[in-house]
């Protein structure tokens, strides 16, 4: 048996090495404990609820509504039901007079001087708004009247103001973009008129769209019911990361699918309402549609379904900057455009009057244009511009599963097209073809093919031949129905 003996120098080197390893191990253990603590389910939400609850309010509204009207039940004279219906009407009161109704909702204070955020639908058309505060510490609830500072129906957000001599407890907005699916959240409000209530859950999904152009909802399974509308959704730091707005339910009650408008949308709206009393969104001045996979092959220079296809350019910022119908917007103000929804939200949140760079794909090449944004609210009624053209004599033809004829004065009158519309009218559609599957119908007007204007049947045939010569498998058509344009890609396979 041999014995290994360490020299003095070896022992001197081993001691600090051992100490270093022990220190590193201790750090790793502390880090593991910290991560484990973060991953654990919170033991309680009580401290968080105590911290933020004084800023959460109940909202009661009252509205004067018109008389119910409508016919009274008809019963034969002398019928035993005659007395019953007379007594019923007496108990209900005079139905011919206006009456006052009330509704309940929730909200939260965002400043000590009394600004309150809620949903627009909570206070819409209200004649009187009362805010009920719960100060805590054993103090009784108090009520104050509120006035509407401004509303935004597009995001269903309203800003209210109460007048008070005492500073109010308030909460701050957090960054909703940092929330991840699975993060804990806590909802507060006045569900079903039962008074102050707290529920907890997780972020179930993000970037949900329900109904509007500016939607950016956080989906949560925290219980949200009627009366919770306008209440806050908190992260675990007590910051508001959403405004509880809607639920998905077959019966009107919570089934664990609730939606809160993301705070990063709400803060921009609230800032504008507070400053101007109204919203002021950027306006690019184009009509757009998503680029679908079947359109990719028909658009030169595009390899994936991305961007926003310009279907019309009315008078406005985009037209002034040189954006054309048929352009595909790939980038806006340095941000890649994935689809129309994200472009609309990005444009709407950009400052009015700002000059931005817009990258478009045109004829297989990218071009960068500079656009100075207008204000959307001032341009809501803008109509698309059209160029006049003289159609040729009628000559029907069957192509791509469609029976087509040039626009004539008779067709203008029949379809109410207007004097400036030119192109080919769809007279009939073969129901067994791709054209029918993609929604083309008799009465539609095809104004462009291959992103070039059509004036005659021969123009369309030329576009088909050119696309086939270029090796394309589909042709992009611009179709108008009741004045609304959209692009449709039809296969060229024989």
| Binding annotation for substrate | 121, 156, 227-229
Taking the CA of residue 178 as centre, how many other CA atoms within 13 Å lie in the half-sphere pointing to its CB? 10
Q: Give the span between the Cα atoms of 198 and 218, in whole angstroms.
A: 18
Residue 483, both tokens: 């004045």
* Residues 253/234, Cβ–Cβ less than 8 Å: no
* Residues 489/309, Cβ–Cβ less than 8 Å: no
DSSP 140: P
Q: Give the span between the Cα atoms of 136 and 20, in whole angstroms.
A: 52
Q: Does the annotation mark 215 as catalytic? A: no
* Residues 407/424, Cβ–Cβ less than 8 Å: yes
Q: Does the annotation mark 294 as catalytic? A: no
* Residues 407/318, Cβ–Cβ less than 8 Å: no
Q: Does the annotation mark 106 as catalytic? A: no
Residue 343: name the closest of 297, 285, 280 by CA.
Answer: 285
Q: Give the span between the Cα atoms of 57 and 109, in whole angstroms.
A: 7
Q: Give the span between the Cα atoms of 483 and 418, in whole angstroms.
A: 9
Binding-site residue numbers are 121, 156, 227-229
What Cα–Cα distance (Å) separates residue 467 from each residue in 234, 328, 449, 451? 55, 19, 10, 11
Taking the CA of residue 394 as centre, how many other CA atoms within 13 Å lie in the half-sphere pointing to its CB? 13
**Cβ partners under 8 Å of residue 275, min gap 6:** none
List the catalytic residue out of 53, 121, 172, 491.
121
List the catalytic residue out of 152, 156, 215, 216.
156
Q: Give the span between the Cα atoms of 274 and 145, in whole angstroms.
A: 18
Residue 132: name the closest of 123, 145, 121, 113 by CA.
Answer: 145
Residue 105: name the closest of 185, 168, 169, 196 by CA.
Answer: 196
Taking the CA of residue 342 as centre, how many other CA atoms within 13 Å lie in the half-sphere pointing to its CB? 15
List the catalytic residue out of 197, 199, 204, 229.
229
**Cβ partners under 8 Å of residue 15, min gap 6:** none
Residue the block writes with tokens 């890649």: 336
* Residues 340/286, Cβ–Cβ less than 8 Å: no
Q: Give the span between the Cα atoms of 328 and 310, in whole angstroms.
A: 6
What Cα–Cα distance (Å) separates residue 34 from each residue in 29, 30, 37, 38, 237? 9, 6, 5, 6, 17
Q: Which residues are catalytic?
A: 121, 156, 229
């Amino acid at each position: 048996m041999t014995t290994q003996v360490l020299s003095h120098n070896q022992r001197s080197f081993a001691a600090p090495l051992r100490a270093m390893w022990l220190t590193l191990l201790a750090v790793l253990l502390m880090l593991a404990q910290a991560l484990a603590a973060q991953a654990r389910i919170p033991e309680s939400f009580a401290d968080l609820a105590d911290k933020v609850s004084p800023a959460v309010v109940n909202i009661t509204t009252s509205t004067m509504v018109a008389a119910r009207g409508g016919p009274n039940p008809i019963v034969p004279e002398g019928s035993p039901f005659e007395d019953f219906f007379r007594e019923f009407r007496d108990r209900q009161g005079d139905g011919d007079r206006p009456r006052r109704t009330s509704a309940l909702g929730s909200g939260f204070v965002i400043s000590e001087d009394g600004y309150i955020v809620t949903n627009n639908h909570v206070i819409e058309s209200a004649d009187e708004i009362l805010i009920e505060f719960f100060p805590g510490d054993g103090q009784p609830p108090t009520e104050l009247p509120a006035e509407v500072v401004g509303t935004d129906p597009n995001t269903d957000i309203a800003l209210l103001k109460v007048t008070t001599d005492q500073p109010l407890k308030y909460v701050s907005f957090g960054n909703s973009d940092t929330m991840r699916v699975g993060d804990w959240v806590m909802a507060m409000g006045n569900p079903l008129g039962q008074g102050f209530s707290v529920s907890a859950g997780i972020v179930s999904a993000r970037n949900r769209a329900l109904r509007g152009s500016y939607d950016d909802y956080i989906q949560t399974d925290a219980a949200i019911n009627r009366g919770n509308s306008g209440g806050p959704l908190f992260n675990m730091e007590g910051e508001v990361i959403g405004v509880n707005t809607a639920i998905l339910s077959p019966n009107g009650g919570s089934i664990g699918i609730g939606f809160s408008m993301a705070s990063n949308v709400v803060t921009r709206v609230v800032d504008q309402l507070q400053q101007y009393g109204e919203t002021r969104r950027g306006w690019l001045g184009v009509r757009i549609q998503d680029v679908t996979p079947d359109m990719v092959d028909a658009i030169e220079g595009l390899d994936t379904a991305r961007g926003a296809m310009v279907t019309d350019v009315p008078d406005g910022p985009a037209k002034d900057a040189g954006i054309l119908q048929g352009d595909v917007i790939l980038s806006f103000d340095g941000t890649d455009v994935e689809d129309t929804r994200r472009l609309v939200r990005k444009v709407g949140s950009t400052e009015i009057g700002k000059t931005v760079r817009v990258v478009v794909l045109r004829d297989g090449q990218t071009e960068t244009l500079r656009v100075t944004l207008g204000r959307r609210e001032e341009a809501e009624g803008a109509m698309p511009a059209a160029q006049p053209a003289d159609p040729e004599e009628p000559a029907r033809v069957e192509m791509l599963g469609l029976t087509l004829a040039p626009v004539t004065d008779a067709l203008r009158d029949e379809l109410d097209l207007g004097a400036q519309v030119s192109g080919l009218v769809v007279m009939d559609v073969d129901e067994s073809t791709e054209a029918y599957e993609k929604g083309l119908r008799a009465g539609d007007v095809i104004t462009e093919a291959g992103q070039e204007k059509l004036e005659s049947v021969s123009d369309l045939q030329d576009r088909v031949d050119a696309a086939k010569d270029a090796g394309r498998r589909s042709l992009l058509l611009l179709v108008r129905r009741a004045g609304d344009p959209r692009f449709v890609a039809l296969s060229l396979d024989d």
